[in-house]
Chain A
Amino acid sequence: MKARVIVTLKNGVLDPQGKAIEGALGGLGFDGIGSVRQGKVFDVELDGSDASAAKAKLEQMCEKLLANTVIENYAIEIE
């Protein structure tokens, strides 16, 4: 089973890297950009076929390691 975990910064947490990317995109001539926030994507392959068990396991992975929940949110997608 394949899963994708997306980790993003919480609202209200400053993202200097996103700001720099936003500035660089503007510099390349892309207009109309409201804002850019950057994050991380993890593609995880899991044994088994039970999607709800996989989701529960991935949630634990996020809570324990993949995300720092002080500053980050996570979302889990299972194919």
Chain B
Amino acid sequence: MKTAVIVFPGSNRDRDMFSALELITGSRPQSVWHGEATLPDVDLVVVPGGFSYGDYLRSGAIAARSPILKDLVSKADAGVTVLGVCNGFQILTEAGLLPGALMRNAGLNFVCKEVLLETVTDATRFSGKFEKGQVWRCPVAHHDGNYFADAETLKAIEDSGQVVFRYADGTNPNGSVNDIAGVMNAQGNVLGMMPHPENLVEDLHGGLDGRLIFESLLNAA
């Protein structure tokens, strides 16, 4: 599986993502600077975590207007798999590739800890290696992870199975509506999530739970 990671000024989880992708796919991801016009021909494009443009204006807002986003939107429309983690999730919502918005955490604090996630559906390319309902550990680290969507959008994404991951067992760290931690577009090829699966893929990380996302993608490719 060929992969690429988009790097913005202020990305800081790009190297973690590189390392996880290389470990699990066995091939080196391509790094794509946000100022470039086109993405390489790959199976998976990852928008990594960090603080692109210092979170100026709104988290992800400026990055979502970067030159590379135009090609990302057209590749996503054409069915290429796109994964956005943390700031990547914020960028994908700001770019209109995913429904809803990510607001300041309800508790106003930056949260950096481990949460439990429930895999709501295993019928996606991002979650095929999980069992439906499986609860797993995953780290979070963010200030603006409070997922919001209006009532109509919320009903639509819940009814159509676009909610892929929820915070489980009372571990919602940010006030996200319906405990939503990860949401997909209607087409099913773009997923955004606040937690960092790339940070739980090696024994030295203290667990391997995050691998299942990448293994699901590898399996589906």
Contact = CB atoms under 8 A, between A and B. Distances in A.
Going nearest first, the 10 A-B pairs with the smallest beta carbon separation are: A70-B101, A71-B101, A16-B106, A16-B108, A16-B104, A68-B101, A20-B108, A68-B58, A17-B104, A71-B148
B162 interface: no
A16 B105 contact: yes
A18 to B, nearest CB: 10
A40 B146 CA distance: 19
B89 to A, nearest CB: 14
Contacts of B146: 14, 16
A64 B62 CA distance: 11
B20 to A, nearest CB: 30
B198 interface: no
Interface residues of B, number: 19
Given A65-B61, A70-B149, A14 B106 contact: yes
Interface in B45-101: 57-58, 61, 65, 93-94, 100-101
A68 B94 contact: yes
B65 A16 contact: no
Interface in B92-125: 93-94, 100-101, 103-108
Given A16-B103, A70-B150, 10 more contacts: A14-B103, A16-B105, A16-B106, A17-B104, A65-B57, A65-B61, A66-B57, A68-B94, A68-B101, A71-B148
